[in-house]
A and B are shown apart, each in its own frame.
Chain A
Amino acid sequence: MKYRKKRGEEREMDMTPMIDIVFQLIIFFIVTINLEKDKLKPIELAPSPEGPAIEKKDPRMVVITVDKKGEISIGSVGLSAIQLQGVMQNAVNLHGFGIPVLVRGDRKTLHAKVRLVMDACASVGIWKIKFAAMKEKVTPPA
């Protein structure tokens, strides 16, 4: 591409780079906003500096969240104790009794609420449960 210098006449500004950047920003925000949606419910885990860190994630792992108010959810779907039992029954039918279950309980939630989750698991034959706890906090509190 040749650039010609026209004297006495102003060159028109090239808009292409600006449009490029605007498109990049649009794409960036579309992608990152979708990422935010998949996040787990924000809860405050109780600290456990000595607990073993989760090494490898089992794709079958069922992650059950119990928030501060005691509401139970899997992913972003809220469930009642009865619904949870149905979900766990399905999980056991699919993968057997050895399916790993991780309970993320908020540190302030009462044991009575966590108990509902444990009972739902026990009633379908899952005896082994993992509790999630904060080993090392990196991200600043929201």
Chain B
Amino acid sequence: MTPMIDVVFQLLVFFIFTLKPQDIIAELNVNRPAPDSRPPPKDQPQDLVSITIGPRVIDVNGVVYSMARLERKLQRLASFSKTQSILIKCTLDSRHEKLVGVLDVCAKAGLTNLSVFTL
């Protein structure tokens, strides 16, 4: 029996060392409109939700929101329509984590129609 036990121990040690726990990665789907597409008209329709991510603050249609308030607003929005299209505009000097944070809140609310623009 000894050689078999040896081999089993070797396999055991091998798998303990090689199998590392894997982080679970989430994927957040967004649409990227064409960079050369016409700029959106100035008189935006009222039902359009536009989230602007700046280096410090996040605003929705011009009103500054905290993350908690944004989450409540998006939850309420999602209760009407989950396919409501949402524009997310990022300034060039905002951190990527802010965008991911907003996308996370949208994912939590179940909103799927997200477009990311760059200001």
**Complex Cα distance A128/B79, Å?**
25
A132→B27 contact, CB < 8 A: yes
Query: How many whole Å from A39's CB to the nearest CB in chain B?
Result: 11
Measured CB to CB, the closest approach of chain A to B103, in angstroms, equals: 6
A115 touches B90 (CB 8 A): yes
A106 to B99, CA, bound (A): 11
Provided the pairs A111-B92, A111-B96, A112-B93 are in contact, do residues A48 and B116 lie with their beta carbons within 8 angstroms?
Answer: no
Question: How near does chain A come to B72, taking the closest CB pair, in angstroms?
Answer: 14
**How many angstroms from the CA of A53 to the CA of B98 in the assembled complex?**
19
- Do A132 and B25 touch (CB < 8 A)? yes
Which residue in B20, B25, B96 is a CB contact (below 8 Å) of A134?
A: B25
Q: Does residue B4 face the partner (Cβ distance < 8 Å to A)?
A: no
Instruction: Answer whether A131 and B10 are a contact pair too, CB < 8 Å, given A106-B96, A108-B97.
Output: no
Number of interface residues of A (CB under 8 A): 46
B-side contacts of A110, CB under 8 Å: 92-96
A49 contacts B by Cβ under 8 Å:
yes
Q: Which of B53, B97, B101 has the most A CB atoms < 10 Å from its CB? A: B97
Q: Encode contact with B along A49-72: 1 for CB under 8 Å, 0 otherwise.
A: 111111000000000001000000
Q: Considering the chains assembled together, what is the distance between the CA atoms of A136 and B69 in angstroms?
A: 24
A48 touches B100 (CB 8 A): yes
Residues of A within 8 A of B90 (CB): 111, 115
Contact between A45 and B99, CB atoms less than 8 A apart? no
Q: Are A133 and B94 in contact (CB under 8 A)?
A: no
Complex alpha-carbon distance, A122 and B30, angstroms: 12
Within 8 Å by CB of B100, from A113, A133, A136, lies: A133
Tell yes or no: A87 within 8 A of B by CB. no
Q: Please give me the residue from chain A that is nearest to B108 by CB atom.
A: A50
Q: Which of A's residues lie within 8 Å of B, judged by CB?
A: 24, 28, 32, 35, 45-54, 66, 102, 105-115, 118-119, 121-123, 126-139
Ordered by A's residue number, 19 sampled pairs between the chains whose C-beta atoms are within 8 Å are: A32-B17, A32-B18, A46-B100, A48-B26, A48-B104, A51-B27, A105-B96, A105-B100, A118-B118, A128-B31, A130-B29, A131-B30, A133-B104, A134-B25, A137-B23, A138-B22, A138-B23, A138-B24, A139-B20
Given A111-B118, A130-B27, A130-B29, 6 additional A-B pairs, CB 8 A? A51-B26, A111-B99, A119-B35, A122-B33, A128-B29, A134-B24
